Chain A
Amino acid sequence: MSAAQTAALRPDVALEVKGLAIRFGGLAAIEDLSFEVRGGEVLSLIGPNGAGKTTAFNAITGYLAPAAGRILYRGRRLNGLKPSAIAALGVVRTFQKTSVFGRCTVFDNVLIGLHLRSTQRPLAILLGLPSVGREDRLLAGEARRILEFVGLGARAHELGAALPYGEQRLLEIAIALAARPKLLLLDEPVSGMNPTETAHFMSKLASIRATGITVLLVEHDMKMVMGVSDRVICLNQGRVIAAGTPAAIQRDPAVIRAYLGERYARAQG
């Protein structure tokens, strides 16, 4: 049976990671990592620093070449593809370190994110055909809509680099949403945010999820993870050590041992 046929028989699997291994020189950052992300769910990856979470993201989205293993999105092989090709398939990621187009306006940032939605051909552009102008107006409207959604409508004409930290992180989400993802990979989206900003983000995430987008999340903020996730997977030293519902993970001794215990206690208090 082909991978696509197998996938069709099981509950809707969006992303499948099988036996992934990533090595840097002699060091194995990830070894034999296997998990799946089901369509429409919010899955969180947790684990201590250095567990390999961002490395896994980099491999899934084409920024790193794995030493072994396969990554399949709805049956299509992702490993070996360029990041832009993976984005074209609907798999879009954000970055752990704040990543915006600094010297462009907030509006232009989102416009760049709409890259895949545009069909302008170079010749039409050079000749200044009316179709180009029509599409520009369409995209501009779409950009405004996305900015309103994340709450940055008033900031449209400020430079990306001039935004305060929390709003830059929102801008990252806006850019990613502009690329019309079906699977959204968020790398520590609320790190550095205060409780108000985090709560705001969580409600945005709920809206994103309601549109049917599957979300794979890496986070350290336990309260948020427990609050938004359908399932949680815990990594340690490049391997999966536990998987299940948030409630189950909280009780899992391996997880508590590796990482969770004192962190969650702090989050509770």
Chain B
Amino acid sequence: MKQALIGAALLALVGLPWLVDPYALHLLIITGIFIVAAMSLNLLLGYTGQLSLGHVAFFGIGAYASALTSLGFSVSVTPSVAIALAPQPVWLALLVAVAAAGLCGWFIGRLSFRVRGAYFVIVSISFAEVLRLVAVNWVELTQGPMALNNIPPLTLWLPGLGEHTFSKKPENYWLVMAAVTVSYVVVRRLVHSRAGRAMIALKENEPLAASVGVDVTRTLVLAAIVSAAMAGAAGGLYAHYVRIIDPDIFLFIYTVTMVIMVVTGGKGTLAGPIVGGLIFGLLPELLRALAIRPEVQWIAYAGLLFAVLYFLPDGIVPAVSKWWEPAAGTAPATRADR
């Protein structure tokens, strides 16, 4: 019965482009991209317990790296020496995005070992802000506030279709759905593995984890790299879908959005970011439809956040599953345990 329900839901999800209007589809695509970013943040914040509030840095780096690689660029290092790159195919640009974001993840991972707790919060926010200011001011590279536009859409070779360009909404929707699925599978596998157990152990009791051989630095760095790489991929997808990006992509408020999605959905759960992402991705639209001023929308947002934090501090998914199955513990750490 459960299988049939899931099957029907999946079918509905796949068939959505024929059921909703283009604007709704656009909304779902953006929400889907944010869900991938939220899932990646969940890995670092929810499972590993790192208070990283600079996540938008990875997303933004991914977006800019991918855009710049696919557009090509030329910057002068000194008045006579320039570094230039010719435009590259988009699939390569996306790989560059993942690598660049992953590198930042490595840096943040190493940093999180040296700088703890509340200090790490501040450092991670500062990191994202520095990147934003660089994006604003290094006009030669990023066009600054004038934005990078005409970013080419993704072009992939697909079996049966040959070279295909993802320029229409329905195909971008399916692409993002695939990305969400792949991300979910990746996080699920990681979390149920030795590496994932090590991350959870760090969050729950770091000295105890170390006493049974969990290498703290390596685990933190691994979590950060995977998390950042995934966010970078999301950023890249975003760049090639909306095809125009500006330094506002690094704004702290986007990190806040991702954090809200993860925490209200349920940090440290697999479904949490999806639930949180759907709610907070679609809620602004709902409020906008009610013709409410943006400031009031945000205040309503804040109110909802307060409500969840005070009444359901573990998030929505754990509260619902507790109501559904009162006897179960937390998610098992291996598939073998089910």
Contact = CB atoms under 8 A, between A and B. Distances in A.
Contacts of A104: 200, 204, 329-330, 333
Contact of B212 (A82, A92, A102, A128): A92
B194 interface: yes
B193 interface: yes
Contact of A87 (B201, B212, B332): B212
Interface residues of A, number: 46
B209 interface: yes
Contacts of A132: 189, 193
B211 A100 contact: no
Contact of A108 (B189, B212, B215, B332): B332
B195 interface: yes
Interface string A78-116: 000011110110001111000111111101100111011
A140 B198 contact: no
Nearest to A124: B193
A125 B329 contact: no
A179 B333 CA distance: 17
A59 interface: no
B330 A112 contact: no
Interface in B182-218: 185-186, 189-190, 192-195, 197-198, 200-201, 204-205, 207-216
A112 B191 CA distance: 12
Interface in A22-37: none
B295 interface: no
B194 A125 contact: yes
Contacts of A137: 336
Contacts of A130: none
Given A104-B204, A178-B212, A111 B195 contact: no
Given A111-B334, A140-B337, A102 B204 contact: yes
A14 interface: no
A155 to B, nearest CB: 11
A82 B215 contact: yes
B207 A120 contact: no
A99 B330 contact: no
B209 A112 contact: yes
A99 B205 contact: yes
Given A125-B193, A126-B186, A179-B212, A159 B207 contact: no
Contacts of B334: 111, 136, 139-140
B333 A115 contact: no
Nearest to A118: B194
A178 B200 CA distance: 17
B215 A84 contact: yes
A102 B329 CA distance: 11
A101 B268 CA distance: 14
Contact of B205 (A61, A94, A101, A116): A101
A126 B43 CA distance: 14
B114 interface: no
B40 to A, nearest CB: 14
A122 interface: yes
B197 A63 contact: no
B222 interface: yes
- Of B204, B216, B330, chain A has the most CB atoms within 10 Å of the CB of B204
Interface in B242-298: none
B208 A159 contact: no
A168 B173 CA distance: 49
Interface in B202-243: 204-205, 207-216, 222
A125 B200 contact: no
A120 B336 contact: no
A150 to B, nearest CB: 15
A161 B193 CA distance: 22
A112 B200 contact: yes
Contacts of A102: 204-205
Given A122-B222, A157-B329, A87 B210 contact: yes
A103 B211 contact: no
Given A125-B190, A126-B186, A116 B333 contact: no
A103 B314 CA distance: 12
B213 to A, nearest CB: 4
Nearest to A91: B211
Nearest to A83: B210
Contact of A93 (B195, B211, B330, B337): B211
Given A104-B200, A126-B190, A112 B332 contact: no
A253 interface: no
Contacts of B205: 99-102
B329 A176 contact: no
Given A102-B205, A103-B330, A158-B329, A84 B210 contact: yes
A108 B333 contact: yes
Q: Nearest 4 CB-CB pairs, A to B?
A: A83-B210, A116-B213, A87-B213, A108-B333
19 contacts: A82-B216, A83-B211, A88-B213, A95-B207, A103-B204, A104-B329, A105-B332, A105-B333, A111-B197, A112-B198, A112-B209, A112-B333, A115-B201, A115-B209, A125-B194, A136-B192, A136-B336, A139-B336, A158-B329
Given A84-B215, A100-B205, A105-B329, 19 more contacts: A84-B210, A88-B213, A99-B205, A103-B330, A104-B200, A105-B330, A108-B200, A112-B333, A115-B194, A115-B209, A115-B213, A125-B189, A126-B186, A128-B185, A132-B193, A136-B192, A140-B334, A175-B208, A176-B211
